[in-house]
Structures are given as structure tokens and as C-alpha cells.
Structure 1
């Protein structure tokens, strides 16, 4: 994909749950290698954006593209039609997601959690998948826990394994959904430091939903403020956190920062 083309495109995307519109005519792009933090009150549509990108939810109207290919639709005879599961599986190979609750397989060791998908989905030879797992566990500081089961790890360690598992698929896009919300406060700093290191040392495009405003300020190239299923405003962290244009953004930031 040429560097000038966006990695992610939302084009007039709308998503409803019953009568509730959670994403309303969303139009935005994310550049290759860009780190974008999504902030806003609960229920504003932030996590739904990640779930749409993972095809865990389907758009009602509009289209989403990843690396120049439509996500929820595919081309057939010159027209866009709803994508089938096989097509979406191929697109999903380019996207990794780290969830709030880790979602590790408890019956597998850490090694198994990191090698299962690369072997079965990407077709990597087992020795290559093992080498990649060892490399990533070294990165996240857990090289000595490769043969442990997740239940024997702390919450912070499990979240580091979840991050390594997402990276094991060599994604172009990494989605982070409140990855520190299930952790004890003393474990948060370690996970955020790891994500900063990954962001600084890779060219992965990252979308991050978080209530950690300090992390959003330090990590993101751009911050998007959501409210009522819309992008209320967006800009570089230095601008949005110090001189937000919208009263609703100022109100939200005051409330969140006062809790810190």
C-alpha cells in the first residue's frame, strides 16, 4: 500500500443497537503508523469502533476499509456486496486486538496462546512460531514464563501476554480496548510503559480506547473525542488537552482529570 494512502477509512458509517444510534455517520481516516487515542464518556461509541474493525459487529450503513480493502463489503462483478466470512477472516489477519479482560486460553500455556493462531491461521512452521513467541515474551519481560498457564500469572502479566499474542500475528493494525481497566492500580504503569515501547519501536497503526489521559497525551499522535456516536473534535494531544474547542470536551476532561 502506498504510504500516502490511509490504513483505516470510515466512510459514513452508522451502527444501531435497536433504536439507539451508537455510531452516527462516522467519517475519519487513520494513516499508516499513526497512533490514535479515542476518548469520551461511556456509551459514546468508542469500543463499537474497535468491534466494527474486528468484524465482531457489522455496520448498518457506510463502509470501512483497511489497507485499501473494504472490511464489511467485498467486490463482486464490479459492485460492493456484504462480505462473507471467508473474506472477513482474510482481512482480520491484518488486525490484532487486546481486550479489557485478557481473553487468554486458560487450558493452554503461554507458549500455546502465542503460537496457536500463527500456526493455524498464518500457516507458520512450529519452530518459527516458537521463535516468534520467545522473542515477544522477551519484549514484554516474560521470557521465563513461556511454559506457565495464564492462571498462574498476575493480571498485569496476563495483559502483557495478551499484547504479545496480538503482536504474534504481525498485524498492520493493533486495537487496544481499555487494556488497563481490569488491572490493579500498581500494575497499570508497567503495561502502559510496555505499550509506549511498542509504539516507539514498531510501525504498527494503533487505535487505543482509554480513560488514562496521561497515557493518551504521551502515546498518541492524535486524540479523537467522541460523544453521542460522533467525533466531537480531534487534534494533537498538546492542543486537545490544553485548548479544547468544544465545551463538552472541556467538561469531560475536567471530570476525568479530577478523578486522577
Structure 2
């Protein structure tokens, strides 16, 4: 893998004591259901943080808030020292450029080649020269093991290959933050390992901040600096993966891990 391909922009992420991501007093409700309950949550630059917990505990909602796919009912969200919410739309768009997300579903453009799926946003959003964007896309396809699929349409790829294209597409924007939302949940079991291996390589060889929601506990143990256990919209336990997975303090955490491990 080329280190240049995934190098952070020149004005790099926040360093020192200030978190790169900060949620303060964030509440999100859907009807009468409170999904996030006055959540205080932060992530330091360069850290790999995994969110675990039962379905409906608020994990994916955090990612959707950071992508501005939904908005909080209360609280503030800050990324790299810039307000994401509440903030004017122009400022929101600038902050969003720092964040990439890989979804459960691949969301590739079916009418575009693999190469164009990866180059479309860098050219149209970042204003990159087409040749530069294509050179970066080819490097990223090599990274994810799909160098020979540049001209293929997504329909000609397996689910695992499509998800690896989606990872390359997110990385093509040179994000400071990569959000991963159950990226293997839509894959057949035999395709999961290849996608997770790509993400392990990215985690180990780059300084991209990663925020991951997953039920793949071995993967969480491998790549995480910190694991957060969510329940009912709150963080009930937090710590390094060795402690969370071998000696959790909370009974709810023990019960959850006992069910999924």
C-alpha cells in the first residue's frame, strides 16, 4: 500500500488534548423513543473506537448524526474544532468533507464503472483533476485487492467485492474520520473475512480515526484502541478491548458478550 494514497491533508487533524469528535448532551428521539439520552461522547484523533451493544441502543444513530443523515434534538456536535450541529449549512458541508462512511449496503452507482464510482466525488466535491483522481483510485483498488476490476460494473462483482469498492470510495476522499456501520452484515459468511482483512490493514497502517459499529467481536478486539458498550442510548462501560472482552465490569456487558461470543 502506498503511504501517499492515504496521507492526511496538509492541515491534518486536531492533535493534543482536544478530541477530534465531540458530542455534548446529544439527545435523539424517534417519536416517543429516546435513542440517545443526553450523550457525552468523544474520540481522539487517530484512535480506533468500536461501539458494541444490542440493536436499538443508539450506535448507528451516532454515525448517522456525524454524517448529517439525521439531526439531534438537543446538544452539540463538533468535529476537528468546527461545529457540525448546530451550524450553518455551508459550515456543515465543509466539516462533512472530513468524514467518510461505509454503510451496511454498498450504495454503489450501478450505471458507473468501479473506477468512476471511486473518482466521482473527489472530482465533483474536492475539485481534483481527473487524472489525479484516477491515479488515486487505482492505488486504492490495488489496496483492496481489486486492481483488475476498474472497468467492471458493480453488478458484475460479488457482495464482498462491492463492499471493498465502497471502502476504496470512502478512502478516495482522504477523510480524517472513517465511519463503519456493520459493513459485513449484508455479506455471505464466506465473504466477511476478506473485507475485515482490508479494514485491519487500514487500521494498522494509517492514522485515520475510525469509529466502528460491528457485531464482529474478534474484529473489534483486533483493531480497537477503545471499546464502548452501549445500552438504551448511553455508554454504560468503556475501556481497552482486553478488559472489555475478558473482564467487563458491568453485568449488562457480560450478558451481551455472553450472547454474542
TM-score, with length taken from structure 1? 0.94
Normalization by structure 2: what TM-score? 0.94
Which residue among 105, 115, 122 is the counterpart of 2:119? 115
- How much does 1:47 deviate? 0.3
SS at match of 2:180: strand
Does structure 1 conserve the Cα–Cα contact (< 8 Å) formed by 2:15 and 2:45? no
For each residue in 1:152-184, what CA deviation from the matched residue of structure 2 results, as whole angstroms up to 9, or x when unmatched? 000000000000000000000000000000011
For residue 4 of structure 2, what is the aligned residue in structure 1? none
**Which digits, 9 at most, give the CA deviation of each residue in 1:33-92, with x for residues without a partner?**
00000000000000000000000010111101100111112xxxxxxxxx2332211111
Structure 1 residue 187 corresponds to structure 2 residue 191: yes
Which structure 2 residues correspond to residues 102-251 of structure 1 after superposition, within 5 A?
102-251=106-255
Deviation of residue 228 (structure 1)? 0.3
Structure 2 match to 1:5: 18
Unaligned runs of at least 5 residues, structure 1: 74-82
Number of aligned positions between the proteins: 248
Q: Residue 237 of structure 2: SS of its match in structure 1?
A: strand
Q: What displacement does 1:151 show?
A: 0.5
| Partner Cα distance (1:128, 1:226) in 2 | 41
Unpaired runs of at least 5, structure 2: 1-13
Asked if the contact 2:26/2:40 (under 8 Å) is kept, the reply is yes
- Per-residue Cα deviation, 1:5-48 (whole angstroms, up to 9, x for no partner): 21100111111111110001111210100000000000000000
Which position in structure 1 is the counterpart of 2:40?
27
Aligned to 2:3: none
